[in-house]
Structure 1
Amino acid sequence: MSTADAFTPSRRPYRVVQWATGAVGRSVINGVLDRDDMELAGAWVHTPAKAGVDAGVLAGRDPIGVAATGDVHDILDLDADCVLYAPSPSPDRFAELDLICSLLSSGKNIVSLNGLVYPQAHGPHYVNELEQACKRGGVSVHGSGISGGFMADVMPLTLARLSQRITHVYTRQVFDFARHPSWQMVHHMLGFGKNEEAYRRALRPARTAMRTVFSESLHLVAAGLGVDLDEIDVDVEHRLARTDLATAAGPIPRDTVAAARWTFSGLAAGRPVITIEIVHKADAARMPDEWGRPGYSLRLDGRPSLTLVTDEQWVSDEISAAAAHALNSVPVVCAAEPGVRTYLDLPTVGGHMRI
């Protein structure tokens, strides 16, 4: 199918599956239900209590007649065009590879909100397994990303078109989790609310997981700018809450971890050429402005140099934006030639205007 065919009004709706129904997954389901060009074919859930529950109800809507399942084979057997893949981040990309390849081999395209932004970062074996699965299923795989998507990779490559010579790319993203509803994300994945000893014990797997996610963005930007990275450095700092904090995901007691700054540096020729700084704050309004206020900063050093700075108001809802980012990719991914498809391969697609 050509890219033009993907936007033909008479085409039947894309049948999509939502994989995992956390905060982002529920937003994806709502996005599908609000679009005329898509329909929900199924939903996979990790929690046994959600299995059998109507997917519309899980998303806070009326029932739609699609029951969620915790059985992978139910999803593999579905007639569907695309899986919106949004599980919790894994520190081991290879641990998920068999599952991803099974989904692809069953004839379902994948748009991933967690990883697969640039699979080449994990080596030729990883890419070859994906390519072979895509070939068997006649489909494509693409990563839209959440934290590792858009501001850390698409936006630098977009702005790079305005500079003739670039010597360094720097992005900083400061996230405020005061209103984020997911206990799993805030307390388990980020480690907020832990004492320093418990936080440091959990840091090793967290470092591996974060490196896995953001190495893809670093390598994608490098590839887009024609640079080969020699290695990636990872550094992390944390800060404690000075007072008890009440967040949507639960309390963060005083003297427990309430902020962290991760720095990922892509090195070439012995120096950093691409830097991604990720700052997480449990409640930015009640914490010092150290490491910046919520929002995004992007700087390209070169000729000319370019700077883009936004505050947290640049987007009204980051979760729904991440969901839209993935959903808007579905038509072009389904229309693409089979194989691994990154932002360097696909046309840019925007959202739908509703009149």
Structure 2
Amino acid sequence: MTRPIRVIQWATGSMGRACLRAVIDDPRFDLVGLFVYGAGKARRDAGEIARRDPTGVIATRAIEDILALDADVVVHCPMLSDPYDGHDADVRRLLESGKSVISINNYFEPRALGADYAAGLSDSALKGGATLAGTGVNPGWVAERMAANAVSLCLSHRNVATREIIDCTTVPNPEYVFGALGFGADPKVIDLVDGPLARTFDRMFAQSVEGLAQRIGLTLDGYESDHELRLARQDLTVAAGVIPQGSVAATTWRVHGLSAGVRRLTHEVNWIMDPTDPAFAGKPHWQIEVDGLPGLKIAMDLVDTAPEGVRTKPEQFAVAAMVLDAIPRVVAAPPGLLRL
């Protein structure tokens, strides 16, 4: 009988906990380690953090404890960092220790961030005989898989656009909501060209654009972006706190892929705190539009089918599903960078 794949869970925010529960619940996997950032989670059993039975795996805040473990793969789910590559040092140490890494925030298409950047990550993976990959629903699925499949229905295409609207009203972490996502900020302090949020999402979503281009055989010669803010029409009380009137209540991060100087691919992500805003109300979670022959439009929504009392959101289940699907493929892949 084949032994279970040995998994380390890294971080237990809302997405990380969903992945942790999925790993614990799946007999294909054996949870052998848990890294946490918060002092209140350290030295607690993983089962307690995941609202599951005890596992015997005790959470640690020390990367040295994680590096010493014998494991096949690390499911890497930290909060977005500023700068975007702020987690690279940890990831490279994990790879060099012989552990493959699956990220939900980065490493989808590292070559989109520069050949030297990708080469450095590849060197660490090869040194440890490990594999590095990124997966999720966006990046990782809507453009790279769904839009790529949609294009196969068209004899030709001028532009392929993917758009997502994410309702963030139930996200509970104030540090994430008011820091990493920029909600509640004075719009005057948000630099949409070269500010930290713009740099983060430029680098994240350029990977979605490049991933789509690779899958449909389109060679890109660059990327450009145009981002937007929308302001709160009144004070908004959400799970993480209050979004004051006149402060940032929605951000639109839009990255284009250029071929011969023309925008051929567009990837747009809208993070929102007011679902009644006419710009977003009634619109699907995802939309794909192909301007081609023939033209094509696809609208998709996630549906909440969780049992009563389960607080996990559909998008959290979806990310966990993508991660679990990726684990066996990453473990079986040759060392280096893997496009899932």
- TM-score, length of structure 1 as denominator length: 0.87
Instruction: Write the distance in 2 (CA, Å) between the matches of 1:84 and 1:311.
Output: 26
Question: Which of 211, 232, 235 pairs up with 1:220?
Answer: 211
Could you tell me which amino acid in structure 2 is paired with residue 26 of structure 1?
R
Residue 323 of structure 2 aligns with which residue? 326
| 2:266 paired with 1:275 | yes
CA distance in 2, matches of 1:295, 1:49: 34
Question: Hey, what does 1:14 align to over in structure 2?
Answer: 5
Q: Secondary structure at the match of 1:17?
A: strand
**CA distance, structure 2, for counterparts of residue 66 and residue 217 of structure 1:** 35
| Contact 2:302-2:314 at 8 Å conserved across structures | no
Instruction: List runs of 5+ in structure 1 lacking aligned partners.
Output: 1-9, 344-355
How far apart are the structure 1 equivalents of 2:105 and 2:164?
17
Q: Which of 233, 241, 246 is the equivalent residue of 1:250? A: 241
- Report the identity percentage: 36
Aligned to 2:310: none
* Other structure's SS at 1:289 match: coil
Give the TM-score normalised by the residue count of structure 2.
0.91
- Cα distance in 2 for partners of 1:76, 1:65 equals 18
Q: Residue 293 and residue 187 in structure 1: after superposition, are their counterparts in 2 closer, same or farther (change >3 A)?
A: farther
Runs of 5+ consecutive residues of structure 2 not aligned to the other structure: 306-312
Q: 1:175–1:279: 8 Å Cα contact kept in structure 2? A: yes
Shift of 1:219: 1.0
Matching residue within 54, 57, 65 for 2:45: 54
In 1, the alpha carbon distance for the partners of 2:144 and 2:281 equals 21
Q: CA deviation at 1:17?
A: 0.7
SS in 1 for 2:20: helix
Give SS of 2:233's match: coil
Alignment of 1:179-190 (within 5 A): 179-190=170-181
- Asked if 1:149 corresponds to 2:119, the answer is no
Residue 336 (1) aligns with residue 326 (2): no
Partner of 1:71: 62
Distance 2:53 2:113 in 1: 41
8 Å contact from structure 2 (residues 192, 228) kept in 1? no
* CA–CA distance in structure 2, aligned partners of residues 167 and 201 of structure 1: 27
1:90 maps onto 2:81 in alignment: yes
Q: Which residue does the alignment assign to 2:287?
A: 297
Alpha-carbon distance change, 23 to 32 in structure 1, aligned in 2, over 3 angstroms: same
SS at match of 1:273: strand
Provide, for residues 46-90 of structure 1, a one-character-per-residue CA deviation record: whole Å limited to 9, x for no partner.
223322122222223343211111111111110111000111223
1:44/1:245 CA distance change after superposition, 3 Å: same
- Aligned residue pair count: 333
In structure 2, C-alpha distance between the alignment counterparts of 1:72 and 1:202, rounded to whole Å: 35
2:250–2:273: 8 Å Cα contact kept in structure 1? yes
CA distance in 1, matches of 2:227, 2:326: 32
Q: Is the 8 A contact 2:165 2:280 kept in 1?
A: no
8 A Cα contact 2:158 2:292, kept in partner: yes
Which residue of the other structure, out of 131, 155, 159, is the alignment partner of 1:140?
A: 131
State the partner residue of 2:308.
none
How far off its partner does 1:182 sit? 2.7
Q: d(CA) in 2 for partners of 1:325 and 1:203?
A: 31
Over aligned residue pairs, what C-alpha RMSD do you find? 2.2
Rounded to whole Å, the distance in 2 between the matches of 1:319 and 1:57 is: 19
